[in-house]
A and B are shown apart, each in its own frame.
Chain A
């Protein structure tokens, strides 16, 4: 079945760049998504990328997509303590099945 995999933890120093990686199995998706979950809250859409694009930049965020390897990454430049959260990549599954499959989430810890 469809699967989305992420590493569980990432620790970075404030001001450094963070790179969160994700691999997925369903290559038919039109869009791939990144969601952010702050402590005690629900998920919020952070950004997304169209499957025909290799890269999308949005202020401090850069999304890279390698369709051949089914690899998605999220780069956060100049990481701040406010970026500490869990980041989920999400893949719509199975085309037409109307559901979003999430990875396990990567917990990003930003330290001084």
Chain B
């Protein structure tokens, strides 16, 4: 089972360049997420998509855009990369969201993309 697949695994960008991180899940999940992981700061939510056709900002959306292309795919775009965006990026998906009324929900994570902006 593939689960959540992210591409690329590693990327080096120059300041000002743009790129798109791809994410696809094969579990028919409704919700998808993009997180960044920085040392000592844990995972911070960039954007999420509660269902196909909707996207919302998370904690740290500045400098990023997202597209929920279809139910399977959720991409993250850096329009003009900055050194502060050097991080490990994780895509995740879940069958349902994490609201009060929902049952315990598991988020499935991809392997991550290690991005360095020089």
**A59 vs B72: C-alpha distance when bound (angstroms):** 35
CB distance from A78 to the nearest CB of B (A): 25
Number of interface residues of B (CB under 8 A): 31
CB distance from A53 to the nearest CB of B (A): 12
A45 & B99 in contact (Cβ 8 Å cutoff): no
- Asked if B2 is at the interface of the complex by the 8 Å CB criterion, the answer is no
Chain A residues positioned under 8 Å from B110 (CB to CB): 42
Chain A residues positioned under 8 Å from B92 (CB to CB): 42-43
- Nearest residue in A to B9 (C-beta to C-beta)? A40
Number of interface residues of A (CB under 8 A): 31
Given A29-B100, A42-B90, do A98 and B50 touch, yes or no (CB 8 Å)?
A: yes
Chain A residues positioned under 8 Å from B105 (CB to CB): 31
B42 & A104 in contact (Cβ 8 Å cutoff): yes
**A33 vs B98: C-alpha distance when bound (angstroms):** 11
- Asked if B107 is at the interface of the complex by the 8 Å CB criterion, the answer is yes
Given A88-B43, A98-B97, A98-B98, do A31 and B104 touch, yes or no (CB 8 Å)?
A: yes
**A44 vs B3: C-alpha distance when bound (angstroms):** 12
Listed by A's residue number, 28 A-B pairs whose Cβ atoms lie within 8 Å are A28-B100, A29-B100, A30-B101, A31-B104, A41-B111, A42-B111, A42-B112, A45-B106, A48-B104, A88-B42, A88-B43, A93-B98, A96-B99, A97-B99, A98-B31, A98-B50, A98-B56, A98-B97, A98-B98, A98-B99, A99-B33, A99-B58, A100-B33, A101-B45, A102-B43, A104-B41, A105-B42, A105-B43
**B interface, CB within 8 angstroms of A:** 4, 31, 33, 35, 40-45, 48, 50, 56, 58-59, 90, 92, 97-102, 104-107, 109-112
**A interface, CB within 8 angstroms of B:** 4, 6, 8, 28-31, 33, 35, 40-45, 48, 50, 88, 92-93, 95-105
